[in-house]
Structure 1
């Protein structure tokens, strides 16, 4: 298990755990980041990621990427 920030580009991974305050978890869940969801890292620049989750491309800051474990 590792934070999403450390995942390589093009890797298809499964979300194992999401940490943070309930409001943060709810926000991520609204975007499709839920335990068991498949996620693919599209690109990474300075710790910020663009990922594909449930058919949508979403940009994540480094702090949010550290709250999602794959």
Structure 2
């Protein structure tokens, strides 16, 4: 399921990152790689703050939808 479906406090593992090109590469550089643990710190109006590899990252809903988690 997409990361955008998670709620505050949920923890999941990244399965894959959809998309191509610059956005895909940027998300991988931020730590969204297969097997990485992701937890939702905050969610407001479709915008997320998630913790991945010890760093907090802000994402909007469209970008969070590209990250598939389980």
Range class of TM-score, shorter chain: over 0.9
> What's the C-alpha RMSD, in Å, of the aligned pairs?
0.8
After the TM superposition, which segments of 4 or more aligned residues of structure 1 sit over 4 Å from their partners?
Answer: none
Residue 60 of structure 1: aligned partner: 59
More strand by share: 2
Q: How many residues align?
A: 69
Gaps of 5+ in 2: none
Structure 2: distance between partners of 1:12 and 1:19: 19
TM-score (norm 2): 0.93
How far 1:58 moved relative to its partner? 0.5
How far 1:35 moved relative to its partner? 1.0
TM-score (norm 1): 0.93
